[in-house]
Chain A
Amino acid sequence: MQLKSIICSILIMSFSLAGCIGNETDFSDECENGTLDILTYDILALSTEMVDKFVTESGYCVNFIKEDDSGGILDKMMLTKENPVADLMIGLDNTYLQTALANNLLEETSYTSNSGYQNITQTALEPYSGSMAVPFDMGPVCLNYDERFVDDENVSTPTSLWNLTGEDWRGKLTFPSPITSSPGRAFLVATIDYFESDDDPDTDAFDWWKAIRDNDAIFTSGWTESYETHYTGGYGEYTDGYIGDAHLTVSYCQSPGVEAFYAGNYTHSTSITLPKTTFQQVEYTGIINGAQDVDAAEAFIEYLLSTEVNSNMPVNNLMYSVLEGQNLPETDGYKYHSDIPEENSDIEISRINQEMTSWLENWQSATD
């Protein structure tokens, strides 16, 4: 009897709590047009209020299928190619997009003929301006370093990537793997262009990666491990699991701005913006080939690219908006501490697709 009471109490309590206090995402009465399945990554560009508004206005409910990052989205799309699990993808970047296009994973969107499309900046459209995908946010990937280390240890600010192979930086560098991390992949592309454009024809990017490995760099599988666990310049030092054994990592040029935004206009992290060491990452949304509900996907693309939603990218997704006339907020030094790259690396998206496999193999050989 006592046992029954305990079990019943737990179940009743759990279910009633779940039912009564649940979040505000139950729109069963408002799904008259069906449900839109969106394949995306874990941090989402939209606040709850914004999605709620879309649901109310469009009559479509929204179900998010979440992956860890861009690579995870592509993996899931490849794996479910014959039986897509979603209608819309949000989050493939310009290092992955071409693979998706080459494998016919996306279908045309009519948004490119929408007047809103004209409002997208040339920077965002530069890597890809076809009708299979639409950019929704962007940000330059670059090296971030801890200013405290440079000041306290009297280390010179790097003026060339080769500086990082010197003794000053031995064991103090961390890089997310380009095999498993999208910022890592973007930075690999930047290094290819950097060493192709420099004055030294005898060395290439993989010689540099080999020298970096020999300089005891720490390689991690994802951005989070590099930035949060190893890097001393970011918020990681306030989280559990922090190791803090590296003073330089790969992140975004606006990451110091984000640090300042959350910490009341203070950061000791800054970026290296040397020419060709940065890569303009652009993230896309597109309709998955074989989508059940194309109209719902089109409606969401339009909503995502509306000024109301897209102008909030810096706060909601920590990235730049792709719309003309939008910038980072000035609040708490967000814009002030976000560095502007001198010259982004310039490798065509089609070349990225053609050569990425061999670059990754060479990278693996160089860093093994």
Chain B
Amino acid sequence: MLNPSQHRNVIVSAQWGTIIAFCALTILPLGYAIFRLTDVTGMTVFSSMEKFFSDDDTLTALEFTLLEAAISTLFTLLIGLPIAWYLGRYKWRNIRMIRAILSVPFVTPSIIVAMGFLMLIDPGGLLDSIGIDLRLETGVIGDMARVTGWENPGHFIALIAAHVWFNLSLVMRFIEPTLATLDRTWEEQIRFLPAGRNKILRIKNLWLPLLAPAALCSACLCFIFSFSSFALVKWLTPNQDNLETLMAKSGGSAGIYNYRIDTSEVVLSTSMVQLLILSIAIIYTARVQKKHSTIHSIVTENSHQVANKSPNKLALITVIGAITYAVLPLILVLISSIRIRDARSNDHYYSFEAWIEAWNGSYSATAIPDALTNSLIYCITTLIVALPVGYIISSTIARLEGENKQNTARFVEFLSMIPLALSAVMIGLGILIGVLKWAPDLFSWAILPAVPHIIITTPFVVRIMLPAIRSLEPQYHEQAMLLGLSPAKAWWHGRIALLRAPIIVSAALTMAFSLGEFGASWILVRSGSWDSLSVLVDQLMGRPKFDPLIQPMAMAAAATLMFLTFILFLIAERFRHTDEGSGF
């Protein structure tokens, strides 16, 4: 029987062991990929970065990446703020369903988002019919291009619209909970003070301090996700590259000695610059998020759930508009799976032919049930590993904070966020090269594609669990111990039972992210029966489409993935606290 001190030592050792294992899983393949690329190219990390800034192609890609990420962030905030405001300030029926619908885009696989928007902007499609031709850039958009000399403004606008769609829930998730739980008396009281006698002063002295950290936090994450966007840039702005698409184009032949060294140089230099920029963004995000958590907890501690009034017309229009915006591309994907072109007449008819074909599969296209089984195996494996690892890392951070070891806590938090700063291509390539070097037999291990999923989803588990663990009262656990429960039972009843909601939310989101993960899988999941649903969609879409069934088949696979994602999100929403301020 262990005494409390020994028991604590075991737990602390286990925590550090887990953190070291997670870091090794993340950093070793990356380190090996960097080592291999420097060895292949004969460049150092610094000389590769010098080369990056002296090459026109990489610089153009960087400019485009920064521009699209900054504008996407700006518009996401501009559109997301009013939606969050109305959702938080009014009483909505079926609020969980509304939140789930508005949040689904964030976990929708990016390849599906790209397909949905392609259909939305399709010539002859919905937007084109109202005179906005973003694809062929005729009419107003064509005039805009001529007058401004801006090349392909339609494609750029489509990309921004897709990024806004994808990231909108981030703004909502950060801002709405603070607004929803804010005690209305604060507003009333400030009106009597000189600092709140007019609207501008109230914005300056009440709303800005309350909401700015949340807005900044969501803005940082919008920037990070738009910056590392891959499928959307690939499909929506075919004439321009961001850093991720630039790397993906060269990724296949990178890391090979004496062969296509230029591609290794591009991947090395671009990934280093991307790593640097995203690391800065993530460190800043962590800092802002801490501030936001503090403010949010002050708001929730000092407030009670107010009985909001029913939404006015403007609120109704805004929220209905947002819901329409959120579901439209997804509905179009669904319709496209049953809308088949008759190759002879070029008319369209509706049929389930593509579903049947995709469901049965062939040697050249994995059947949907097989891809679905693979996806589920990867996501369950991811869940089994990422959830406990994320919990342990969060607990360690909270413990270190409790012990006043703020710097160590911040360092562990930063380590857990590293995967967000990595390019999916680099993660995939690192694992591929690393595995081939150290344990070639693992290459045929069916669970291998789950490894990048674990790396990518663990930071999300940490982000969801950490605020909840921070807010846990240690007395519950102590009281459970005093009642004579065994350490395991005390841990279960005094801790895990209280974390049921964030655990379920993390589990659902981990599964959803794993189902939709594309970038790293694209590098690794090419081995026959390993195809996941998201890879299957891309494979079918990348194929010559002389046969009119190919595209609807891809959409059938996409629709299956969407259905699963939506179910998982409904489960997450059912267990989410209304006052939760974690952001996801």
Contacts and interface: CB of A to CB of B under 8 A. Distances in A.
Interface centre among A17, A62, A66, A67 (most CB of B within 10 A): A66
Nearest to A2: B574
A111 interface: no
Given A23-B360, A75-B253, A368 B436 contact: no
Interface residues of B, number: 63
A364 to B, nearest CB: 8
A242 B551 CA distance: 13
A19 B369 contact: yes
A239 interface: yes
A245 B133 CA distance: 14
Contact of A43 (B260, B361, B544): B544
Interface string B216-244: 00000000000000000001001100000
A44 B544 contact: no
Contact of A240 (B118, B262, B548, B564): B118
Q: Number of contact residues on A: which range applies? A: 35 or more
Interface centre among A47, A222, A241, by most chain B C-beta atoms within 10 angstroms, is A241
B341 A238 contact: yes
A42 B344 contact: no
Contacts of A78: 253, 256, 259
Contact of B362 (A3, A47, A62, A242): A47
Given A14-B564, A48-B363, A263 B344 contact: yes
A72 to B, nearest CB: 6
Contacts of B235: 241
A150 interface: no
B347 to A, nearest CB: 10
Interface string B357-384: 0011111101101101100100000000
B539 interface: yes
A240 B526 contact: no
A273 to B, nearest CB: 21
A225 B543 contact: no
Interface stretch (A133-141, A205-213, A227-235): A227-235
Contacts of B436: 79-80, 82-83
B357 to A, nearest CB: 10
A71 B440 contact: no
A107 B359 CA distance: 38
B528 A83 contact: no
B477 interface: no
B544 A14 contact: no
A173 to B, nearest CB: 14
Given A64-B528, A244-B136, A48 B362 contact: yes
A144 B498 CA distance: 66
A228 B376 CA distance: 33
A67 B376 contact: no
Interface in B126-173: 135-136
Contacts of A42: 364, 539, 542-543
A235 B373 CA distance: 33
A6 B367 contact: no
Contacts of A103: 259
B544 A68 contact: no
B56 interface: yes
Contact of A83 (B119, B252, B443): B443
B547 interface: yes
Contact of A65 (B336, B440, B528): B528
B542 A11 contact: no
Nearest to A222: B542
A228 B545 contact: yes
B119 A79 contact: no
Nearest to B545: A239
Interface in B329-370: 336, 341, 343-344, 346, 359-364, 366-367, 369-370
A321 interface: no
Interface in B531-575: 539, 542-548, 551, 564, 567, 571, 574-575
B484 to A, nearest CB: 29
A22 B259 contact: no
A65 B259 contact: no
Interface in B55-98: 56-57
B369 A68 contact: no
A79 B256 contact: yes
A85 B364 contact: no
B8 interface: no
B252 A71 contact: yes
Interface of A: 3, 6-7, 10-11, 14-15, 17-25, 37, 42-44, 46-48, 51, 62-68, 71-72, 74-76, 78-80, 82-83, 85, 99, 103, 180, 218, 220-225, 227-229, 235, 238-245, 258-259, 261-264, 266, 318, 361, 368
Given A63-B527, A222-B542, 19 more contacts: A11-B376, A14-B376, A15-B373, A18-B373, A19-B369, A21-B369, A23-B367, A24-B360, A43-B544, A44-B363, A44-B364, A79-B433, A228-B544, A235-B343, A235-B546, A238-B341, A241-B118, A241-B122, A259-B546
25 contacts: A6-B571, A11-B376, A14-B372, A15-B373, A18-B372, A23-B360, A25-B363, A42-B539, A47-B362, A62-B363, A66-B526, A68-B542, A71-B252, A71-B253, A75-B256, A83-B443, A85-B527, A223-B544, A224-B543, A227-B544, A228-B545, A240-B119, A244-B123, A244-B136, A368-B57
